[in-house]
Structure 1
Amino acid sequence: MRSTSRGPGQRAGLTRADVLTAARALLAEGGIEALSMRSLARRLGVAPNTLYSYVRSKTELLDEVLDGVLAEVRAPEADTPDPVAGISALMTSTYTVLLGHPDLVPVFLARQGARGANAVRLGEILDTLLRRAGVDESDVGQARRVLIVHAIGSAAFAAVGPDGERPLAPADVTAQFTRGLGWLLAGITAGSSPPGGAG
């Protein structure tokens, strides 16, 4: 016989989507300091222990929220004919998505990226493209981190400051991001085989 018992979250009528949406709202309102399991429970009108039916910790909650954002990133196929162009397209899409969620950029900085299923998928595609572009296996991980830092850092420069002003015009930051990405890719792939060639 199938058990009809339900966890506290189910009894409260919550879904995982409800929890993540409320967490996203708290982050938008007050940043990472505003989000705790207790504050989230207050927002949802439940006891804090109810939330553990859905997430094990604040860290996991943050990673789930960030990973939901990364679902918007448009990734090329790992076997795209020009791997360098594929890397450029992937990182440009990542940067553009981050610009669309400026309140979460500080969270990405604090977490040094994301660790959910979408983050893993995008990381695997990026690693494959780096290998195909001729990057040595021992350097792939470091190259990935450099590219991610460039995307998150550039998005942070484009964000609105605490006084409501933009220190740099978004178009200027984007132009700098694009130029910097080109420099990084030229350096990362220096000495590698031409795209589509052996190696």
Structure 2
Amino acid sequence: MARGPGERAGLSRAAVLEGAREVLAEVGLRGLTMRALARRLGVAPNALYSHVPGKDELVDALLDDHLGHVTEPPADSPDPLAAVAALMTSTYDVLVAAPDLVPLYFARRGARGANAQRLGVTMDGLMVRAGVPARTVPPARVNLIVHAIGSASFATVGGDAAESRAAFTAGLGWLLAGIACR
């Protein structure tokens, strides 16, 4: 069976992302270069380009791949605002679990890939079901995402994990109460 581009080197997109995550954790964003990643994976740099066009897309793919760990509530949840709270809490937990990625979510103002889009569609649908006017759904979503990323940022720079989570949960409740009031 013939292999496609990049597969000749024995690479998969998952392997490229895993290697990039390891390089990022060891040397930071400045040290995450296509050459450094190729060295880590034992391939020529050009083997990476069939999986990602460049470093920016690699970082975006890392961020979006990580969002794949967010637990999505059922779309038909009986209490849509509680489902939004569960979705945002799962997002917070996923972000806190990867402190090296949190600054990148800030720098890139979130993620834009398939997982991020799927989660956004789910959140929007839940808010519409909760009676939030369609015109206010996008800014409500942005505020919820900023709260999750900002709270995760505070939680990952030290301090008490329980206090950080309590502060996130309280703020999330306030935001959702305000969103519900329209």
**CA contact 1:67–1:118 (8 Å) conserved in 2:** yes
Which residues of 2 match residues 101-120 of structure 1 at below 5 A? 101-120=98-117
Looking at structure 2, the residues matched to 141 and 30 of structure 1 have their Cα atoms a distance apart, in angstroms, of: 36
| Preserved CA contact (<8 Å) 1:31 1:107 | no
Counterpart secondary structure, 2:126: helix
1:38 to partner: Cα distance: 2.2
Distance 1:62 1:53 in 2: 15
User: Does 1:60 pair with 2:51?
Assistant: no
Alignment deviations for residues 145-196 of structure 1 (CA, whole Å, 9 cap, x no partner) = 1100100110110113xxxxx2x211111110000001101111114xxxxx
- The alpha-carbon deviation at position 19 of structure 1 amounts to 0.9
One of 82, 91, 96 as aligned partner of 1:94:
91
* 1:146 and 2:143 matched: yes
Contact 1:99–1:159 (8 Å) recurs in 2: yes
Residue by residue, what CA displacement relative to the aligned partner does 1:21-53 show, whole Å, maximum 9, x if unpaired?
110111112332221222212222322222111
How high is the TM-score relative to the length of structure 2? 0.92
Consecutive unaligned residues in structure 2, runs of 5 or more: none
Which has the larger Rg? 1
* AA matched with 2:164: V
Q: Counterparts of 1:6 and 1:127 in 2: how far apart (Å)?
A: 38
- Partners of 1:45 and 1:5 lie apart in 2 by 18
- Per-residue displacement from partner, 1:78-125 (whole Å, max 9, x unpaired)? 221111111111101110111111111111111211112111111110
Amino acid at match of 2:40: R
Matched position secondary structure for 1:78? coil
Distance 1:179 1:187 in 2: 13
Q: Secondary structure at the match of 1:77?
A: coil
Alignment of 1:184 with 2:137, yes or no, is: no
**Residue 160 of structure 2: which of 144, 166, 169 is its match?**
169
Query: SS at 1:127's partner residue?
Result: helix
TM-fit CA distance, 1:17: 1.8
The residue aligned with 2:122 is 125
- How many Å separate the matches in 1 of 2:35 and 2:115? 27
Q: Percent identity?
A: 59
Aligned partner of 1:15 among 8, 12, 17: 12
Using the TM superposition, name which of 168-177 and 131-140 deviates more.
131-140
Supply the RMSD in Å over aligned alpha carbons.
1.6
**Residues in 1 aligned to 2:103 and 2:30: alpha-carbon distance in whole angstroms:** 11
For the residue of structure 2 that corresponds to 1:81, the secondary structure is coil
